[in-house]
Structure 1
């Protein structure tokens, strides 16, 4: 009897161990001029790879295509890949911006223009999503955007918030739904963007991240202007990522020439800093590409004099840039269609998407306002291998533009929930969308089962050892 049971368990364990969740892959990769499309070519699974050598000459086109948003049409939802499901997570929000998941699973949302941070928690009894106001202007919020938990790990003691003109922090324990008191100012050594008109520059968002070892605080600050065309444009401490001690002291320039890194994040394995960046306007429909890239300390990415390596912005005199800077100008890892407006980014650290997604980047594309044919208005997946970008990105969530070219949604924030789903804030429809995986492989391996397969395998191995010992 023991022998028969043992012989039955062995192939079951082997089968469970070898079972893999299905790969969700895109088709051919669009390259060269084929990669420069518009919203009509967007669809979940479409992949693009744009190289610096593909770029057209400057000033080939220029147009203002800003248009009012329309209400989301009835029964219209974002489009997601096969075997994924999209549903409404929250609505009736006030210009929802950056999202961040707390270590205990609570979801924090910056409603920047309302000077408010809102917290969402799934009620385990009712299944509904409960909403709380965590902090407001009364506790120190002034156009908040970036949110980070310190120290990194499961038990943070503080929440840091990047206002437009300072960094503040709140005492925090897992489970808090309301700030315990006014925020403590950590540093005011960042330039303010609050009173600057946003058109053409004056970027006001500040994102924040802590290094993997918890020893440093990184803060992204966008440029004041589009391209610093005037000598008296004050770009001090702008268009860069700043580094501080966690108490706000010892400010240094971590990386420069980055026009507007709206979103930054730390790779969960390598500890490298990555950034999602808005590039400049005014050089044409397909210039200059936005990008997502790994950023090393001391690197320079060209703004305002150069772009995508050693391409010189013609609005600057050839003698206007400092000596030696052209040689330092780097080409980013992943070039995204110009004017897509790449905002928050998040690494996929969940367990319920297919394994090919692990550590890939999701980046929200807010959408173009000055491109003849609309682009952006989607969430893309940036593919990485062993901690390095492949240069390829894939449309993941699309459909925020009607077939007639009317815009109803604009993705801003992305975060990974504890259940492995992807949450997307949309300040066009004032909503948060939830995307989850419901696929199976040829062996009927459900996504939720795949994420817990190792537990079953361990149990069966222990059972096999017990049987054989009898």
Structure 2
């Protein structure tokens, strides 16, 4: 009798433990990649100790071996999609055990033409090539057997110069797609009115229209969480020296505004070739002129709860870094402090990817994405990695 009671008690305890384990596993599966828990920092060959962050912040590797990692988009089920520029590859990354490290890095396609831009909506992955837009419906259910994509638009210019595209869905459910200037400095809108613009369209590729003009090369934009205005970075022209013109952070408040290219740069610098045609006063000036040649790419507003309250609604910008300046600049995450719609400060948030003394870099920030727990992901197409920034 006693032996039977003991057996039943042990069996009951084992059943209770197993049920709890199943419950914990199911709860974790309901919220992949964004669980807040203590993270074991994985070993990395990247010299992250060289990076400088504000007190209380730390940075670690979220994924390595993502060659040429550029634009990022998060799927509904926690899959992180990553586009590339020169590698012609799109990736899918998965954090299988919710420890904020992507153990699984999948190559989805290596045959695309400069698939820099990725966006996610209604279960579908959108990918931007140079001249066309692709859609992969129900993508997270078909990662191991990628279907042929739907071509939703295939009539963009074919020029490779500034032909890579950043894409994102706006609060109006439109897909925004830039078309860069096909040159360092030129006036070619008479040839194709879409050059040096930001366009938008419906998710199925219909109703395409030009939203903003005079935009030389934007590779990052977002919308203000309160006003809904479009904020975008723009890379300034080259070959005017080390210190001019400034790169730009801009704000579009309505459709049809012109931001100066190729006539005026940074709101104040008259172009030596085209500047006599129109004065700078004819165009929308930047919210924040940035350093010359810093190559600003992603811009995102902070809305999470992990970082200190003072960072709410400030703009974080990934500065990819200069390529032809006599001494390199950029290679950092900068912070633009805002008071309403006005910029009141521009400072460094993270630097150290560039050794200024040796003029050598181990990373170049590209895109920024915030997870649901409030932490920040940063892609790096030079270090072939994605980092996660947290605050304790």
Length-normalised TM-score, structure 1: 0.68
Cα distance change, pair 126–306 in 1 and its aligned pair in 2 (3 A): closer
Aligned to 1:208: 167
- The aligned residue for residue 54 of structure 1 is none
Matches for 1:339-418 after TM superposition, within 5 Å:
339-386=293-340, 388-402=341-355, 403-418=357-372
Aligned length: 347
Consecutive unaligned residues of structure 2, counting only runs of 5 or more, are 1-44
Partner of 2:133 in structure 1? 167
Q: Could you tell me whether the CA contact under 8 Å between 1:333 and 1:391 is conserved in 2? A: no
Correspondence for 2:154 = 188
**C-alpha distance in structure 1 between counterparts of 2:344 and 2:240, whole Å:** 23
Which whole-Å CA distance do the structure 1 matches of 2:374 and 2:189 have between them?
48
The 8 Å contact of residues 134 and 178 in structure 1, kept in 2 or not, is answered as no
Change over 3 Å in CA distance of 1:345–1:131 after alignment to 2: farther
Give the deviation of 1:112 after TM superposition: 3.1
SS of match in other structure, 2:167: strand
Q: 2:289 is matched with which residue? A: 335
- Counterpart position of 1:117: 90
Matched, 1:248 2:202: no
What is the rounded CA distance, in whole Å, between the counterparts of 1:315 and 1:177 in structure 2?
Answer: 50
Task: Quote the offset at 1:316 in angstroms.
Answer: 2.5
Q: Structure 1's 410 and 263: CA in aligned 2 closer, same or farther, altered over 3 A?
A: same
The CA RMSD over aligned residues, in Å, is: 2.7
Distance 1:432 1:189 in 2: 32
Tell me, in whole angstroms, the C-alpha distance in 2 between the residues paired with 1:391 and 1:256: 26
User: In structure 1, what is the equivalent of residue 260 of structure 2?
Assistant: 302
Partners of 1:357 and 1:182 in 2: how far apart? 42
**Residue segments in structure 1 that go unaligned for 5+ positions in a row:** 1-71, 151-155, 197-201, 439-470
Change in 2 beyond 3 A, CA 1:233/1:114: farther
Out of 119, 123, 147, which is 1:157 matched to? 123
1:108 corresponding residue in structure 2: 81
Distance 1:124 1:179 in 2: 23
1:218 aligned to which of 167, 172, 176 = 176
Point out which structure has higher relative CO (alpha carbons under 8 A, 6+ apart): 1
Alignment partners' CA distance in 1, 2:316 and 2:158? 28
Give secondary structure in 2 for the equivalent of 1:189.
coil
- Any conservation in 1 of the 2:76–2:123 contact (CA below 8 Å)? no
1:468 maps to none
Q: Secondary structure at the match of 2:83?
A: strand
In structure 1, C-alpha distance between the alignment counterparts of 2:189 and 2:172, rounded to whole Å:
39
Give TM-score scaled by structure 2 length.
Answer: 0.80
Shift of 1:325: 7.1
Distance in 2, matches of 1:114 and 1:415, equals: 21
Aligned-partner Cα distance in 1 for 2:195–2:303: 31
Corresponding residue for 1:288?
245
Q: Hey, what's the Cα distance between the residues in 2 that align with 1:317 and 1:437?
A: 46
Other structure's SS at 2:220 match: strand
CA distance in 1, matches of 2:142, 2:114: 22
Cα distance in 1, alignment partners of residues 61 and 286 from structure 2: 34
What is the aligned partner in structure 1 of residue 17 from structure 2?
A: none
CA contact (8 A) 1:382 1:389 kept: no
